Amino acid sequence: MVQRLGPAGHAGRLSRLLGNPRDRWVRLALAGVLVGSLALRLAFLAGQHAAPFSDMTGYDERALLLLHEHTFQTGTAYGATYHGPGYVVFLAAIYGVAGHHWWAVYVVQSLLGTATLFGIYLLARRLFSPSVAVLALLLAAGYVPFLAYAHVLMPETLFITLVVLSTYAFVRGVLESSRLWLGLSGILCAAAALTHSQALLLPVVFFLWIALSPGGWPILRRLRSGLVLFVVSMALVLAPWTVHNYLDQRRFIPGDTVGG
């Protein structure tokens, strides 16, 4: 039996296909801010030719050491464990593909900075509202350190991206009772901890957020299997580096020794 649609029916079907006009404008505005932010970062990069200095030199040298000699050991007392391996591996991977060119790192970090903006938008939309998400996006897009750190050989850009994405995955996992998102959050959280060991405190923040929310303890019980998967995923990613540090220093060091 063929259903005949009148003018109103055709209009309704067309509206569903095209989507809400307001939603289309929001998506266009979001795309415009992200593309504009990336273009600004790349334009800023075009005028930057400074060589690494200070701490940047250390990251650069360790990345080349890992790439060519396949080791984190620098020959000093805490050389292998002074910084976590996350950013060193990140640099070595880029150098392995594009050669020892700092501009290649800055391009990738510009892309990560743009991904961070999108993550902030998604996180604010999940926790608050579309209008708050747009405001958060605009504030983050205009935050100068986000722009500046994309063009130095320092782990901040990678670290912030991992923290934002891990937080978004955790929030989504909790709100949707999704073990998949909670497991992904654990992996991203561990990657952030291998970049800056301060991220080892993130699970505490995440669990406190649930516990202090209305109905927190029932939520913890309901998400028990997903939260266990979060912890296990994080532990599995941290395990190889923790074992490496124990063999190197004979101490339990899941992150780094930069803080003593």
d(CA 56, CA 202): 26
Work out the burial of residue 67: count CB atoms within 10 Å of its CB; fewer than 13 is exposed, 13-18 middle, 19 or more buried. Answer: middle
Q: Using an 8 Å Cβ cutoff, are 88 and 59 in contact?
A: yes
What pLDDT digit, counting tens, does each position of 28-38 carry?
878 888 888 88
- Total-model pTM: 0.85
What was the pLDDT predicted at 121? 94
Which residues, 6+ apart, have CB-to-CB distance to 186 below 8 Å? 229, 230, 231, 232, 233, 234, 237
What pLDDT digit, counting tens, does each position of 99-139 carry?
998 889 999 999 999 999 999 999 999 999 888 998 999 99
What was the pLDDT predicted at 49? 60
Q: Which amino acid is at 216?
A: G
What pLDDT digit, counting tens, does each position of 48-87 carry?
666 777 788 889 999 999 999 988 877 676 667 778 899 9
* Pick from 3-12, 45-54, 185-194: least confident: 3-12
The residue-averaged pLDDT of 235-258 equals 85
